[in-house]
């Protein structure tokens, strides 16, 4: 199993699209529950380079955006499909998805 984190704007429609896209290809199932996700709020910052095409903000200026970190679990065999699905629906030019291998102890 993997656990992944993806950062996105704090907009319900964007959050829903990301969770749906990841779940549709196999992420977010825990036992008898589907579309399981943890959503934490925070603030993101960046400066877009001159050759960037930012979805938010302006090239060369610092941008501060209210964002969320969406955390979900995913089976090994579909992790790449999940990354690809998220990238298709995510509004940012550069999508940050951190993936970690998990171990379970019972």
Closest CA to 40 of 14, 10, 63: 10
The model's pLDDT over 5-14, given as tens digits with 9 standing for 90+, comes to 999 999 999 9
* Over residues 44-64, mean pLDDT: 91
Task: Name the phi and psi angles at 4, rounded to 5.
Answer: -125, 155
Q: Rounded to whole angstroms, how far apart are CA atoms 103 and 12? A: 31
pTM: 0.90
**Across 1-106, where does the E strand assignment appear?**
2-9, 38-47, 62-74, 97-101
CATH no., domain 2-101: 3.30.70.120
Q: Are the C-beta atoms of residues 4 and 99 closer than 8 Å to each other?
A: yes
Question: 11 is written with which tokens?
Answer: 């907009």
């Amino acid at each position: 199993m993997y656990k992944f984190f993806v950062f996105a704007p704090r907009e319900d429609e964007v959050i829903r699209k990301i969770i749906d896209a990841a779940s549709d290809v196999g992420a977010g199932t825990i036992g008898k529950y589907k579309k399981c996700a943890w959503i934490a709020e925070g603030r993101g910052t960046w400066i877009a380079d001159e050759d960037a095409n930012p979805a938010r903000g302006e090239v060369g200026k610092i941008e501060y955006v209210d964002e969320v970190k969406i955390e979900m679990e995913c089976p090994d065999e579909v992790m790449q499909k999940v990354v690809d699905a998220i990238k298709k629906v995510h509004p940012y030019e550069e999508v940050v998805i951190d993936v970690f291998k998990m171990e379970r102890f019972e």
